Amino acid sequence: MAEPKENPFLDDPEDMEEDFDLDAAMEEGDGPTAPATSRANVEAITAERDELRDRLMRSLAEAENVRKRAARDRVEAEQYGGSKLARDLLPVYDNLRRALDAAGDGKDGVIEGIQLTLKALIDVFGKHGISLISPEVGDKFDPQVHQAMFEAPLPGTKAGEIIQIASEGFFLHDRLLRPAQVGVSSTPA
């Protein structure tokens, strides 16, 4: 029978007592794996790992930002998506208001019908976040919510006071849908 061959990869038991020094082996370059495990390769792999970790963290942050932006856009679309329709309905409100103003204080059925229709329209506006800007004569002009249609000197008023309301304005939630159109006093102080 043939005698088994000695395995060249097994260490001599006497050599096993010594600790293996990887740094020394890499510097010497002995062994079949020395080029693959060199210090430069380890550093390159570490740098690549760090770069991939950085890219991963940036990708996760970007994904979170996209999720937050999508949620914000969804809420905004729900709140303000109907603004074009709301703007188109404002003249209907204006016409009903003018009809009531022209009718005076009469109590016939047509006037009551217009009042009920106007009230129903205001209720629908309220359900959808549309609120009325109703300035009063004597209020201070605010360019954020009022549009000056004209300026005229009026005795007994101060400059910048509202002297006439041409039409009411509207907010859609917290956005200005239409400014209130007003006349403003230009009486010098």
pLDDT tens-digit map of 88-146: 999 999 999 988 888 877 678 888 889 999 999 999 999 999 999 999 999 999 999 99
Q: What's the start-to-end Cα distance of the chain, in Å? A: 126
Mean pLDDT over 44-68 rounds to: 95
Q: Are 146 and 176 in contact (CB under 8 A)?
A: no
Considering the domain boundaries, does residue 15 fall inside one? no
Q: Which pLDDT band, with edges at 50, 70 and 90, does 3 fall under?
A: low
At 29 the pLDDT is 52
73 & 28 share domain: yes
Residues 93 and 156 reside in one and the same domain:
yes
Per DSSP bridges, beta strands 175-178 and 180-185 are: unpaired
Average pLDDT of span 58-73: 95
Domain boundary among 45, 80, 115: 80
Rounded (5°) CA angle 148-153-156: 110
Domain count, the chain: 2
Positive or negative: CA dihedral 165, 167, 170, 175: negative
Judge if 58 and 111 occupy the same domain.
no
Q: Which amino acid is at 52?
A: L
Token pair belonging to 70: 């999508």
Domain end call among 58, 80, 102: 80
Residue 78 pLDDT grade (very low, low, confident, very high; cuts 50, 70, 90): confident
Q: Looking at the structure, tell me whether residues 109 and 153 fall in a common domain.
A: yes
Does residue 63 carry a pLDDT above 60?
Answer: yes
Do 104 and 124 lie in one domain? The reply is: yes
User: 65: pLDDT confidence band, cut at 50, 70 and 90?
Assistant: very high
Residues 6+ apart with CB under 8 A from 83: 172, 175, 177
Report CA-CA distances (Å) from 174 to 90, 117, 131, 187.
17, 26, 9, 33
Model confidence band, residue 38 (pLDDT cutoffs 50, 70, 90) = confident
93 and 76 in a single domain? The answer is no
26 has pLDDT over 60: no
AA letter at 181 = Q
Residue 33 binned pLDDT confidence (cut-offs 50, 70, 90): low
What CATH number does residue 155 fall under?
2.30.22.10
Q: Are residues 72 and 98 in the same domain?
A: no
Name the residue range of residue 71's domain: 20-80
pLDDT over threshold 60, residue 55 = yes
Determine phi and psi for 148, rounding to 5 degrees.
-80, 120
Q: Is the pLDDT of residue 184 over 70?
A: yes
Does residue 87 share a domain with residue 75?
no
